[in-house]
């Protein structure tokens, strides 16, 4: 099954690919014949067909692989070869492990046992089910070992959050539906939740929210906190604040530039350009209420972007304006979570210089 969402083509998760490779290897091991294609059932009840890239059969084992097709999603694992080696062993039961290119969990908070391979629960279930489907259960008097590997997975993982989350040595085998939806909001917010869980499990009571890599880099240069304290939230501020409240954080710092912070100050917690726009009249009103002179306002009125407004306000030394933007933004955040924690908003320029800050207890 493959569908399009608008003009975007869906793909399959690493978990679905690992399950498909496992089923192919089990089939080859049982039949002692090369397998070319395989069909699996996804968690939602749909079926998916995969071409088998490699199939080899040896004494007591078979190994098959499939290539991950992420559809039109910009996934770093698109095109990766996902392998499964299935071996007969004397130990009873089905035993699933990670091999080359599959990361290992080194920190708590991910819902996986520290020291084990980073294969999430749903893929584990899918892999186990594929074994059972082929063998009709576990062969009497013996067991089966499934080793999932991803050649080049360690290099791929450097482009993901895995190292920060404490998943070392490779990628994770992921997926709850088996299907990759391009540019999925669900996938992005799941990453935010996972990052916050790791921070909480590491004993942190404070996190720093940034919009992306540039703002995080500046924040880390100013705030001496552990790496896991920095959460890249993108445009999902409302969701991230709610998750911080749910997990019991005591303090949240929001490190942002003028474009984003001015939207938040105006009460827009979803800051994507299609969801909110910068209202320059709002900024003019704030400037007027914080003591800007008439000549200052005349100059500010001709600004066309938030960044230009900031530069003109800075040139006129309107420090109270910057502090007020931070205060309004902090109030918006605090009210959204019913004052669940201390919130501090920090306004910075493109170079990371702090222009204003305000916190609400």
The answer to whether residue 184 scores a pLDDT higher than 90 is no
Greater model confidence, 346 or 181 = 346
Percent of the chain with pLDDT strictly greater than 70: 95
Per residue in 39-86, pLDDT (tens digit) is: 999 998 899 999 999 999 999 999 999 999 988 777 889 999 999 999
Both 150 and 252 in one domain: the answer is: no
Of the residues 180, 199, 228, the one at which a domain ends: 180
Both 146 and 193 in one domain: the answer is: no
Both 343 and 210 in one domain: the answer is: yes
The answer to whether residue 273 scores a pLDDT higher than 50 is no
Domain with 163, as residue range(s), is 4-180
Per residue in 119-173, pLDDT (tens digit) is: 999 999 999 999 999 998 877 778 999 999 999 999 999 988 899 889 999 999 9
Report the chain's mean pLDDT, rounded to a whole number: 90
Number of compact structural domains in the chain? 2
DSSP state of 229: G
The answer to whether residue 181 scores a pLDDT higher than 90 is no
Kindly report the CATH number assigned to the domain that includes residue 90.
3.30.2110.10
pLDDT mean over 105-124 = 92
* pLDDT at position 3: 46
pLDDT-derived band at 212 (thresholds 50, 70, 90) equals confident
Both 167 and 192 in one domain: the answer is: no
93: closest CA among 128, 143, 26? 143
The answer to whether residue 186 scores a pLDDT higher than 90 is no
Both 11 and 157 in one domain: the answer is: yes
* pLDDT at position 225: 93
Do the Cβ atoms of 17 and 68 come closer than 8 Å?
yes
* pLDDT at position 7: 60
Of the residues 147, 180, 213, the one at which a domain ends: 180
- Within 271-353, strands assigned E span 342-348
For 21, left (φ over 0), alpha (ψ -120 to 50), or beta? alpha
pLDDT-derived band at 313 (thresholds 50, 70, 90) equals very high
Both 81 and 203 in one domain: the answer is: no
Per residue in 190-203, pLDDT (tens digit) is: 889 999 999 999 99
Both 168 and 189 in one domain: the answer is: no
Both 84 and 162 in one domain: the answer is: yes
Per residue in 14-34, pLDDT (tens digit) is: 999 999 999 999 999 999 999
Both 233 and 343 in one domain: the answer is: yes
Both 202 and 217 in one domain: the answer is: yes
What burial class does residue 273 get, using C-beta atoms within 10 Å of its C-beta: 0-12 exposed, 13-18 middle, 19+ buried?
exposed
Give the CA diameter of the chain.
89
Of the residues 146, 180, 214, the one at which a domain ends: 180
Both 60 and 208 in one domain: the answer is: no
Both 212 and 161 in one domain: the answer is: no
- Cross-strand bridge partners of residue 67: 81
- In this prediction the pTM is 0.76
pLDDT-derived band at 188 (thresholds 50, 70, 90) equals confident
């Amino acid at each position: 099954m493959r569908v399009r969402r608008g003009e975007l083509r869906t793909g399959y998760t690493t978990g679905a690919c690992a399950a498909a490779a496992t089923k192919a290897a089990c089939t080859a091991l049982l039949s002692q014949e090369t397998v070319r294609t395989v069909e699996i059932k996804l968690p939602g009840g749909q079926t998916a067909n995969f071409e088998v890239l490699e199939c080899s059969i040896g004494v007591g084992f078979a190994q098959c692989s499939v290539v991950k097709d992420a559809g039109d999603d910009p996934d770093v694992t698109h095109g990766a070869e996902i392998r499964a080696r299935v071996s007969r062993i004397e130990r009873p039961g089905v035993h699933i492990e990670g091999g080359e290119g599959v990361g290992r969990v080194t920190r708590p908070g991910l819902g996986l046992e520290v020291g084990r391979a980073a294969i999430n629960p749903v893929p584990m279930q899918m892999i186990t089910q594929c074994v059972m489907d082929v063998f009709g259960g576990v062969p009497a008097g013996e067991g089966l070992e499934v080793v999932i590997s991803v050649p080049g997975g360690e290099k791929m993982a450097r482009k993901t959050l895995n190292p920060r989350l404490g998943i070392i040595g490779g990628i994770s085998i992921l997926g709850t539906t088996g299907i990759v939806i391009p540019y999925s909001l669900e996938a992005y917010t799941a990453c935010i939740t996972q990052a916050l869980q790791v921070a909480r499990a590491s004993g942190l009571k404070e996190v720093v929210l940034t919009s992306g890599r540039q703002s995080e880099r500046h924040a880390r240069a100013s705030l001496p906190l552990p790496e896991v304290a920095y959460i890249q939230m993108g445009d999902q501020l409302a969701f991230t604040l709610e998750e911080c409240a749910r997990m019991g954080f005591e303090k949240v710092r929001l490190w942002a530039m003028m474009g984003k912070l001015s939207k938040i100050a105006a009460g827009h917690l979803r800051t994507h350009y299609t969801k909110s726009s910068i209202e320059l009249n709002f900024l003019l009103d704030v400037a007027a209420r914080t003591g800007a002179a008439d000549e200052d306002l005349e100059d500010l009125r001709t600004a066309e972007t938030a960044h230009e407004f900031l530069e003109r306000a800075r040139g006129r030394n309107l420090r109270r304006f910057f502090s007020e933007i931070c205060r309004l933004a902090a109030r918006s955040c605090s009210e959204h979570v019913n004052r669940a924690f201390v919130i501090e908003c920090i306004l910075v320029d493109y170079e990371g210089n702090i222009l204003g800050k305000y916190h609400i207890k």
